[in-house]
């Protein structure tokens, strides 16, 4: 299959490389010239559990050189989704599918403004990756990937099954679901309870559990977001608050992605995470003071890097 990846940072490079290793024709598209040049000159270097391998894959800065693709994967940060959606729409042409596995909420809707919703696939992944430098990434962890077609039709589900098979064939354990909103909301709730708090306080995920006051803050943010999810008709996992604390424990030594963004003076995905809860709450007439405060503090921090 011909596959294009728009946003070939840590995750885009990883998924592109795994799909290329399975024999697909993969094109990575990124605005970062050094990274694109390094991949074309030396291949993409992947470090996994101390071992390094190289994968040959096409990389371009100009997406116009790729032509139509059957599958386009959007893996930019959520702050760039609008721009990436336009590129993805062009690459998908009249019949291709566009997939987002980005964190946060709103990415699939942004893509669906450009590509008809029946051709938008959305989901989540528990794979983890880090950029080490131009042309080089670390595959930090594996886990399940879930995808579904955004318009939630029977035909859509059949399509999702076909693409899940493609991923499974590339060693990316993937399940097709009828309603991708459920796993996306469940992952969003984890990010709501961990990301902004760790980013603001410079702590690692596990340190959320150290003090009762920090645990309570995390639980309050998640409980607020669960009310918003239910207001939108999403049946989120009942014991989500405990689950978020369990994830913080299981990833105790990790610095969250938002934490890393703040450490490096980059724009964060706050608007697609806690900020999304605030906007949805406002729409539903629900108060979200904890998520509002976390969003306001991160936005203030971003402005004063």
Catalytic center residues:
187
**Which residue intervals of 202-273 are DSSP H helices?**
212-231, 240-250, 257-263
Dihedral-angle region of residue 135 (phi above 0 means left; psi in -120 to 50 means alpha; beta otherwise)? left
In the complex with ligand NAD, the residue whose CB is nearer, 128 or 231, is 128
DSSP 65: G
Residue pair 143/171 in contact by the 8 Å Cβ criterion = no
- For residue 248, the SS3 value is helix
In the complex with ligand NAD, the residue whose CB is nearer, 27 or 75, is 75
Give the number of residues in contact with ligand NAD, rule: CB under 6 A: 27
In the complex with ligand NAD, the residue whose CB is nearer, 86 or 293, is 86
Candidate residues 78, 268, 274, 288; the one interacting with ligand NAD per rule CB under 6 A: 78
Stretch that binds ligand NAD, among 79-87, 149-157, 197-205, 280-288 (CB under 6 A): 79-87
Q: Which residues contact 171 (CB under 8 A, 6 or more apart)?
A: 18, 21, 22
CA angle 217, 258, 213 (to 5 degrees): 15
- Asked if 27 touches ligand NAD (CB under 6 A), the answer is no
In the complex with ligand NAD, the residue whose CB is nearer, 102 or 186, is 102
- We find the least distance from the C-beta atom of residue 154 to ligand NAD, in angstroms, to be 28
- Asked if 218 touches ligand NAD (CB under 6 A), the answer is no
- Asked if 76 touches ligand NAD (CB under 6 A), the answer is yes
Candidate residues 131, 203, 220, 227; the one interacting with ligand NAD per rule CB under 6 A: 131
CA distances from 257 to 76, 135, 246, 266, 270 (A): 13, 20, 18, 11, 11
- Asked if 110 touches ligand NAD (CB under 6 A), the answer is no
Candidate residues 24, 110, 125, 195; the one interacting with ligand NAD per rule CB under 6 A: 125
Q: Mutual orientation of helices 181-201 and 240-250 as an angle, nearest 10°?
A: 60
Residue 185's φ and ψ, nearest 5 degrees, are: -65, -45
- Asked if 103 touches ligand NAD (CB under 6 A), the answer is yes
In the complex with ligand NAD, the residue whose CB is nearer, 8 or 248, is 8
DSSP 14: H
User: Which residues would be at the binding site for ligand NAD (CB under 6 A)?
Assistant: 6-12, 29-32, 75-78, 80, 83-84, 87, 102-103, 125, 128-129, 131, 257, 269
């Amino acid at each position: 299959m011909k596959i294009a990846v728009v946003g070939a940072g840590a995750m885009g490079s990883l998924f592109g490389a795994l799909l290329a290793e399975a024999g697909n024709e993969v094109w990575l598209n990124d605005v970062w010239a050094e990274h694109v040049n390094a991949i074309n000159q030396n291949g993409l270097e992947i470090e996994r559990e101390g071992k390094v391998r190289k994968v040959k894959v096409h990389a371009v800065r100009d997406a116009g050189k790729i032509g139509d693709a059957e599958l386009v994967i959007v893996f930019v940060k959520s702050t760039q989704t609008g721009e990436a959606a336009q590129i993805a729409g062009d690459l998908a042409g009249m019949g291709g599918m566009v997939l987002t596995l980005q964190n946060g909420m709103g990415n699939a809707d942004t893509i669906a403004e450009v590509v008809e919703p029946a051709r938008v696939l959305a989901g989540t992944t528990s794979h983890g990756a880090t950029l080490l430098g131009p042309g080089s990434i670390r595959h930090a962890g594996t886990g399940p990937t879930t995808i579904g077609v955004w318009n939630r039709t029977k035909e859509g589900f059949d399509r999702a099954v076909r693409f899940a098979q493609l991923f499974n064939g590339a060693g990316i354990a993937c399940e097709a679901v009828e309603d991708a909103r459920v796993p996306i909301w469940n992952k969003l709730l984890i990010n709501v309870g961990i990301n902004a708090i760790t980013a603001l306080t410079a702590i690692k995920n596990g340190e959320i559990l150290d003090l009762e006051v920090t645990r309570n803050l995390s639980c309050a943010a998640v409980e607020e977001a669960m009310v918003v999810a239910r207001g939108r008709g999403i049946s989120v996992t009942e014991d989500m608050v405990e689950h978020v604390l369990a994830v913080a424990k299981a990833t105790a030594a990790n610095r969250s992605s938002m934490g890393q963004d703040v450490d490096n003076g980059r724009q964060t995905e706050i608007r697609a995470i806690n900020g999304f809860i605030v906007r949805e709450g406002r729409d539903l007439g629900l108060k979200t003071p904890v998520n509002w405060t976390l969003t306001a503090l991160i936005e203030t921090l971003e402005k004063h890097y």
